[in-house]
A and B are shown apart, each in its own frame.
Chain A
Amino acid sequence: MKELAIKELLYKMADDLLILGHRNSEWTGIGPILEEDIAFSSMAQDKVGQSWALYKMLQVLGEQEPDTVAFTRNAPQFHSCKFVELPIGEYDFSLVRHFLFDTADLLRFDLLSRSSYTPLAQLATKIKGELKYHTMHANTWIKQLGSVEDEEAFQRMQYALDVALPFALGIFEEGPYEQSLADEKIFAGEVHLKSLWLEKIQETLSKTRLVLGDVSLISPELGGRYGQHTEFLQPLLDEMTEVFKVDPTAEW
């Protein structure tokens, strides 16, 4: 039971990071300015690296090797939330998603740095600074664009936030082992994480003109954790695995 619970937790975290890492890497070469293109691409690469570390942990628990797990499954076998698979859209949406997801990710790993499951606690401690930069980047952009005088820029950010919110709430879809993870002091749970997240994003948004919708009135986009995805995930997987499938034994 405990091992199943750990695997479920690791899979959803790893899949979120792999899929969002791949999505964000789609900006490489076409970012808004050179400097941001490089910064966003670097962070996308960090996310794929973090997913690799989690898949590696799963391998120790008896799952297949990271490349196999990452590149040979189909959409229904992915535990990522729907939020991360949505297309990159315009840069406003990608930035808002980066802000909402990475804030949750930083808080999640912060909770996990005190996890009774040592490998996860060690990884969380190790990548703390990496995640700090990611949220520093997101918060600085949100403050910048959320406070601009330019009405079009502001409206676009607000619209992106409104579109993203139901999907962002789907990050916190509860899994089948919440109680057991909490009892074993492995992870405090999605409900707890969500309340920390709401507080944190409100804190950043309060420094801007952006307004967060009433979360209690929004129905979250759920299902991702149980393999139910939008029509956007399978095409992403097909594209991501295209080169791998040409020669699965190739060494890079």
Chain B
Amino acid sequence: MNDVFQSLDPRINRLGVTVEGHLEAKSSLDQFETYEVFFQMKEGKPYEHAGIVHAPNEDMAFLFGKEQFSRRYTCTGMWIVKTHQVITSPITDHEQSAYDLLDHRLAETELNELSHFEVFHLKKRGRQQVHMGRVQAKGYHDAFKQASEHFGTEPALQVWVIRSQDLLFSDEADKDIWFTLPEKKYRDAIAYKSSDKINAYKERTAKQ
């Protein structure tokens, strides 16, 4: 049995996919590593976590992130970082701040050179992590301690800290890659007003 799979889609027929009759073991997944993507929707707005892409390196992750997460609406900038370079606090429920679950005494044990860290908060369940700002610290524990001092009064169901030098920041000069985005209404389901058209069709056919 080696029949060519027949589809209504001419592209699929051109692939000449054969339907084979034998059994085979499920193969293991072969995936690229993951990168976290953050974007800024408008000038002056904080960066927000947009999602994750698989990619072989950060340049490719940038290419992919741009079309996965900023192919609609507006965008003015993008940051990329390897998933394992995001250090996360425990996650809390409701009223408690994630900072209260951390032992800030551990900060005293860190003796590295001062470096910059970007701090993100999950302010509400079901929302994305939002960039709060940058702190200088001697290590991750210290960064969480500094973040607590700077942003501790803001809601924080979970805190993320990323070493600034681990992030790939989009180039200021490349902002124009998003320039025509607001015009691409055809990527927005709402622009087709399909429910209006379906309702109009239903009304039309009901009268007949």
A contacts, CB < 8 Å to B: 26, 30, 33-36, 38-39, 42-43, 45, 49, 87, 126-130, 132-133, 136-137, 140-141, 144, 239, 251-252
The 0/1 profile, CB within 8 Å of A marked 1, for residues 181-195 of chain B is 000101100001000
Report which of B12, B15, B32, B180 forms a contact with A130, defined as CB distance below 8 A.
Answer: B180
From 1 to 21 in chain B, residues with beta carbon under 8 angstroms from any chain A beta carbon are: 10-12, 14-15
Bound state CA distance, A39 and B55, in angstroms?
13
> Interface digits, B168-208 against A, CB 8 Å rule (1 contact, 0 not)?
00000011111110001011000010000100000000000
Query: Contact: A130 with B179, CB < 8 Å?
Result: yes
Beyond A126-B179, A129-B176, is A144–B67 a contact (Cβ under 8 Å)? no
Tier of interface size on chain B: 20 to 34
Checking A26, A38, A45, A133 against B177 with a beta-carbon cut-off of 8 angstroms, the contacting residue is A133
By the criterion CB–CB under 8 Å, are A39 and B64 in contact?
yes
A39–B178 CB distance below 8 A? no
Contact A42 B59 (CB under 8 A): no
Interchain CB contact under 8 A, B177 and A30: no
Tell me which residues across on chain B come within 8 A of A39, comparing CB atoms. Answer: 63-64, 66-68
Q: Judge whether B180 and A126 touch: CB under 8 Å.
A: yes
Q: Which residues of B contact A141 (CB under 8 A)?
A: 60
Task: Say yes or no: A137-B63 contact (C-beta < 8 A), given A35-B68, A132-B177.
Answer: yes
The reply to whether the CB of B123 lies closer than 8 angstroms to some CB of chain A is no
Question: Is A35 a contact of B53 with CB atoms below 8 Å?
Answer: yes
Interface of B is mostly: helix
Q: Chain B's nearest CB lies how many Å from the CB of A147?
A: 12
| Residues on A with beta carbons closer than 8 Å to the beta carbon of B12 | 30
Q: Given the complex, which residues of B lie within 8 Å of A26, measured CB to CB?
A: 11
Asked whether A128 lies within 8 Å of B176 as measured between CB atoms, the reply is yes
B59 / chain A contacts, CB cutoff of 8 Å: 140
A252, B192: Cβ atoms closer than 8 Å? yes
Nearest neighbor of A33 in chain B, beta-carbon distance: B54
Q: Which of A43, A137, A144 contacts B56 (CB 8 A)?
A: A144
Say how far B65's CB is from chain A's closest CB, in angstroms: 8
A127-B180, A252-B192 known; A133 and B66 CB under 8 Å? Answer: yes
The interface residues of chain A lying within 8 Å CB-to-CB of B116 are none
Measured between beta carbons, the chain B residues less than 8 angstroms from A127 are 180
Interface pair B177/A130, CB less than 8 Å apart:
yes
Q: A49-B184, A128-B176 are in contact. Are A30 and B15 (CB under 8 A)?
A: yes
Q: Which residue of the partner chain, among B11, B54, B55, B71, contacts A30 with CB atoms under 8 Å?
A: B11
Q: A127-B180, A129-B176, A252-B192 are in contact. Are A140 and B63 (CB under 8 A)?
A: yes
How long is the Cα–Cα vector from A42 to B181 in the complex, in angstroms? 11
What residue of chain B has the Cβ atom nearest to residue A130's Cβ? B180
Residue of B nearest to A242 (CB): B10
Write the nearest CB–CB distance from A226 to chain B, whole angstroms. 28
Complex interface: chain A residues within 8 A of B186 (CB): 45, 49
B64 contacts A36, CB within 8 Å?
yes
9 smallest A-B Cβ distances: which pairs?
A129-B176, A35-B64, A39-B67, A133-B177, A129-B179, A129-B177, A42-B67, A26-B11, A137-B63
**CA of A137 to CA of B186, assembled, Å:** 22
State A140–B32 Cα separation when bound (angstroms): 16
